[in-house]
Structure 1
Amino acid sequence: MSYWLIFISAFGAATILPFYSEIAVAAGLQQGADPWMIWLVASIGNTAGAVVNWLLGRYLLHFQDRRWFPFKQNQLDQGQRWFNKYGVWTLLLAWLPVGGDALTLIAGILRVPLWLFVILVGIGKGLRYAVVILTLMSVL
């Protein structure tokens, strides 16, 4: 399993693509890849994928009525409520399977500075991959 495949699966998992990065992470660990390198590559890839959502929110929201647009209105509403209640700190939860991706889109809509977005999302996603890797290492 190459680190590129881990990066691509982590990137895709943070976008509208149907990727599950845990499978690539588990395969990399089973093949003896360096867990620290897997963590770094997956965290960067997943954060970069979240930037795609930020860009969609920043520049492409006027397409939200199109079938291909990745978020449903209820996801946007939930993310907006979280964001209004807790502010930019909600971006630490961008890794959540439900609502996390919508938060990244809403951050773009609300024009959260990209540098702050990347830091907060990167911290959250990095912590998530640390937990995933540690859990997988204990069961593999």
Structure 2
Amino acid sequence: MGRTYGNDESASDFLALSDRTTFHPTTIIPITIFNPLRADWDSSWREDPSLPPFKEQVEWELEMQERADVVVFYFGPHTDAPITLLELGLCAPRKSAIVACHPDYKKRGNVLILCKKYGHVVVDDDGKLCDAVYRNFDER
């Protein structure tokens, strides 16, 4: 499963990142990050609920998104990011979200419309994403 940074007593953010962007706000603000990226992930695993590691990963991600105070998304320019897009759709109506959506992301229009509807912050890159997370933390 993914990794948790920080401790359970701090605010928590779930990272839904379409690629391995650099994101390390725990060095400045006291938050817990639930990061779904895992070093032991095997891309040959079938996306099948009967496959235990796949099922455990998906269930862990859903649980951590539920626990998170804020869900942080990054849509990069070189991927379709269908799972990240799905997670945004699940999160947007009921959770606080901060979204970075690169101008070249193929589904940027969908992301912008959804975020506008639910009042979520959208920035263009991962550098601005960190700033948005810091601002959100200051407002809590």
TM-score, normalised by the number of residues in structure 2: 0.27
Question: Which structure carries more relative contact order (alpha carbon 8 Å, separation 6+)?
Answer: 1
More helix by share: 1
More strand by share: 2
TM-score, normalised by the number of residues in structure 1: 0.27
